[in-house]
Amino acid sequence: MRTISLLVMLLFCIVTLSGCLLKGKDIVEGSGTITYINLEGGFYGIVADDGEHYVPINLPSEFEVDGLRVKFKGKK
């Protein structure tokens, strides 16, 4: 019985630790260019300098400028 309790506690610690290590992996940041995409009514996206494409949610209107250079940080 004690062995099972120890295994359960060990498993809990491993799961908790792995969650802490992976927590920051949902954050993205970098530099890029705001780009207007004329598709299905149009929207603004970010083309990052590393080639990744992002579609920001709730982008403030002052950033809705095609060609605007930006630094960004957000959650996937």
The pair phi, psi for residue 27, each rounded to 5°, is: -90, 130
pLDDT of residue 12: 56
- What pLDDT score was predicted for residue 8? 54
Alpha-carbon span 1 to 45, nearest angstrom: 56
Number of structural domains (the chain) is 1
Contact indicator for 33, 68 with CB cutoff of 8 Å:
yes
The predicted structure's pLDDT at residue 60: 92
pLDDT for 11 = 54
pLDDT for position 75: 85
Domain of 41, in residue numbers: 2-75
Q: What is the tens place of the pLDDT at every residue in 4-44?
A: 655 556 555 555 555 544 455 788 899 999 999 998 899 99
